[in-house]
Structure 1
Amino acid sequence: MTEARPALHPKLSIEIPGEAELYEKLKAYQWNASTEIDWSRPIRNYSEETYEAVKRYFSREDFDRLRAEQRALTFTQLFVGEQAALALCAQLLNMVPEMETKFCLAGQIIDEARHVEVFGRYLDKLGAEAPINRPLEELVHRLLDSDHYGEKIVGMQIFLEGIAVGIFQRFQTESPDPLMRDIIRLVLRDESRHAGFGVIYLADRFRSATPAERTRVEGFVGELWRLFRHATASPFGPIDQFLEDTFDDIAHRLQLIGLELR
């Protein structure tokens, strides 16, 4: 798992059937952000129940602006995360030897580009700007700069994708904005497939990993987790339960491929 090099094949060869099945789903469930999302709708930044609780302190205009700024802070971090996923998939595509894995990663690159597009368009529509969270930026560069194949692919397919699914599921159930819920519904369809690909591929790859390689990757993911906890201290608000659920989910995904979250 320390490195993988691209291979040229004399014929079409499929080594991991589960990945071939995911590739078929990838082709069947593509979507177009320009035609499948109604961007003409205004963004709904709060529910009436939320405003009722604070209306003695805020006019609707002021509260809407405040909520837009809060959402911009969150969605800027998601926008950065999707850019990181796009760049990581591009790096990994040139590292994996298996043909069907290249197919899955090539499809994931298209998915991640689409996610960058939809979150970028949503931020533009919000009309508010927010800075990039520095611990998150450090986490992203830690992943991008790693020259260890095992660190990079586990960090991408188990850690980042696991976090993404948790965040998007929360927004899908809690957001007052129908436009956001439509975006998240489509993005989640992709992210769930990406997470499945990571478990299928890495469970196969880590069967032959040495104890030293396993320990190194486990330590790297633990470092990413500490950076993520630091990054989420501000932009996502009070998230103790979210962090606990996300930790459990990532630990479960790692267990499926024979690793532990330390």
Structure 2
Amino acid sequence: MSTHDLYTNALREPVWQVSASGAGRFSWEYEDGRERLLALYQKGKDKQWDGAKRISWELEVDPYNPLGIPDELVPLHGTRHWAKMTEKDKGDLRRHYASWHFSQFLHGEQGAMICATRIVESVPDLDAKFYSATQVMDEARHAEIYGRFLHEKIGMLYP
């Protein structure tokens, strides 16, 4: 199912373009570079995780209380509005609340991935590009996990 079908509000534009300037830098030096930075790059590669394997996606999640939070942690709890809500309304509120929060994390991770990509293209040395690329991969995994959680477990996203 398309993400667009799961958004609570219709998108005005399917893609949000943000102008950016700067030069991409190619390095023609392919010999081993700075040992410390290359060691960090190796450590980054060694410590990578795969969200499809590290997370038990078969676990059931209640989409109407995906975080399993008690009523007292819902911002409207204790108000006259909360008192008037049915259990279904309270579940819908929890679902929207969790969907909104996780959607913001998802969009933020995509932004972090774009920023990390810009670092890769702008650092001058190849070894610095290697290390910076591990951050791009890390942000990609975060976006993957938040997107999958929203699609498969909550079934709703916010633009």
- Higher RCO by CA contacts (8 Å cutoff, separation 6 or greater): 2
How far has the Cα of 1:47 moved from its partner?
A: 2.4
CA 1:30/1:51 → structure 2, altered by over 3 Å: closer, same or farther? closer
Q: Deviations over 1:227-252 (max 9, x none)?
A: xxxxxxxxxxxxxxxxxxxxxxxxxx
CA 1:45/1:61 → structure 2, altered by over 3 Å: closer, same or farther? farther
Corresponding residue pairs, total: 128
- SS of alignment partner, residue 108 of structure 1: helix
Q: Deviations over 1:70-101 (max 9, x none)?
A: 12212222111111122222222122112221
**Residue 48 (str. 1) matches residue 70 (str. 2):** yes
Q: What is the alpha-carbon distance in structure 1 between the residues aligned to residue 73 and residue 117 of structure 2?
A: 43
Mapped contact 1:23–1:104 kept (Cα < 8 A): yes
Mapped contact 1:45–1:64 kept (Cα < 8 A): no
**Residue 84 (str. 1) matches residue 106 (str. 2):** no
How far has the Cα of 1:103 moved from its partner?
A: 1.1
Q: 1:38 aligns with which of 56, 62, 65?
A: 56
Higher helix share: 1
- Which residue number in structure 1 is paired with residue 155 of structure 2? 127
Q: Deviations over 1:160-184 (max 9, x none)?
A: xxxxxxxxxxxxxxxxxxxxxxxxx
- Normalising by structure 1, we get a TM-score of 0.43
Mapped contact 1:46–1:67 kept (Cα < 8 A): no
Percent identity, aligned pairs only, is 29
Q: State the one-letter code of the partner of 2:157.
A: E
Q: Deviations over 1:194-233 (max 9, x none)?
A: xxxxxxxxxxxxxxxxxxxxxxxxxxxxxxxxxxxxxxxx
- SS of alignment partner, residue 53 of structure 2: coil
Q: Unaligned 5+ residue runs, structure 1?
A: 132-262
Q: What is the alpha-carbon distance in structure 2 between the residues aligned to residue 4 and residue 69 of structure 1?
A: 40
Say what the alpha-carbon RMSD is for the aligned residues. Answer: 2.7
When Rg is computed on C-alpha atoms for both structures, the one with the higher figure is: 2
- Which residue number in structure 1 is paired with residue 41 of structure 2? 23
Q: What is the alpha-carbon distance in structure 2 between the residues aligned to residue 102 and residue 119 of structure 1?
A: 26
Q: What is the alpha-carbon distance in structure 2 between the residues aligned to residue 115 and residue 130 of structure 1?
A: 17
Q: State the one-letter code of the partner of 2:117.
A: A
Q: What is the alpha-carbon distance in structure 2 between the residues aligned to residue 10 and residue 71 of structure 1?
A: 46
- Normalising by structure 2, we get a TM-score of 0.66
